[in-house]
Amino acid sequence: MRCPFCAFDDSKVIDSREAEDGIRRRRECLSCARRFTTFERVQTAHLMVVKKDGRREEFSREKVRAGIRLSCQKLPVSESDIEEIVEEVEATLLSRGINEVPGSEVGDLVMDSLRELNYAAYVRFASHYKDFVSQEELQAEVARAQAAPRRMPRRAGANQPPLLPPTALDTPAAPNPLEGERATTRRVARR
């Protein structure tokens, strides 16, 4: 593995760990002794994207990531959320078991994920991806998106179950009929 600091061709592996989508290796350069991290992923069959004009090009995670980043500029969207969308789109396309996919399917998968994550990012991506000519076309797309069913949120913190079992303080107590009368009596007495 070539060192990113001195470009020396040899390094040694110090630590290897499984990562979410491959193996993370911590390496040390045998020339300058600086350390760096590499990620190894299993290379799958090449997924080709068929463009509108009929051209074919290899699926690029970087192009998908760049388009999502551009749509999410100045919005409260984390880099991990963007990476999660890229992973989800690629996994969905690979799970289909086909070598070629229309570019429109890639864009539709990204739009669906952005709609769940951040509506403003979704509208930005859709306006660029769909290449709207008029304001009416954009409004029609927004209306269609609002009418379409949405999946349950899958982002961190969304509908997260409690980490601890419920306690007596978490559950509302059954109303005590005498307690209600006493509270009413106290309120009346204070007036």
Q: What is the pLDDT of residues 45-95, one digit of tens each?
A: 688 999 989 999 999 999 999 999 999 999 999 999 999 999 999 989 988
pLDDT band at 157 (very low <50, low <70, confident <90, very high): very low
Mean pLDDT calculated for residue range 152-181: 52
pLDDT-based confidence at 27, cuts 50/70/90?
very high
At residue 153 the predicted structure's pLDDT band, cuts being 50, 70 and 90, is very low
- Mean of pLDDT values over 93-120: 90
Q: pLDDT at position 41, please? A: 76
Give φ, ψ of 153 to 5 degrees: -60, 140
Number of Cβ within a 10 Å radius of residue 143: 10
Q: Which pLDDT does position 179 carry in this prediction?
A: 53
Across the chain, which distance is largest between two alpha carbons, in Å?
87
| Residue labelled with tokens 């990204």 | 110
Instruction: State the Cα–Cα distance between residues 6 and 58, nearest whole angstrom.
Output: 31
Q: Are strands 56-58 and 48-50 parallel, antiparallel or unpaired?
A: antiparallel
Structure confidence at residue 164 (pLDDT)? 55
CB count, 10 Å around CB of 34? 14
Planar angle of CA 163, 165, 170, nearest 5 degrees: 105
Closest CA to 29 of 6, 51, 52: 6
Top pLDDT among 65 and 184 is at 65
Least confident residue range of 12-21, 34-43, 132-141, 179-188:
179-188
In this prediction, residue 19 carries a pLDDT of 79
Give the confidence band of 8 by pLDDT, cuts at 50, 70, 90: very high
The pLDDT assigned to 36 comes to: 93
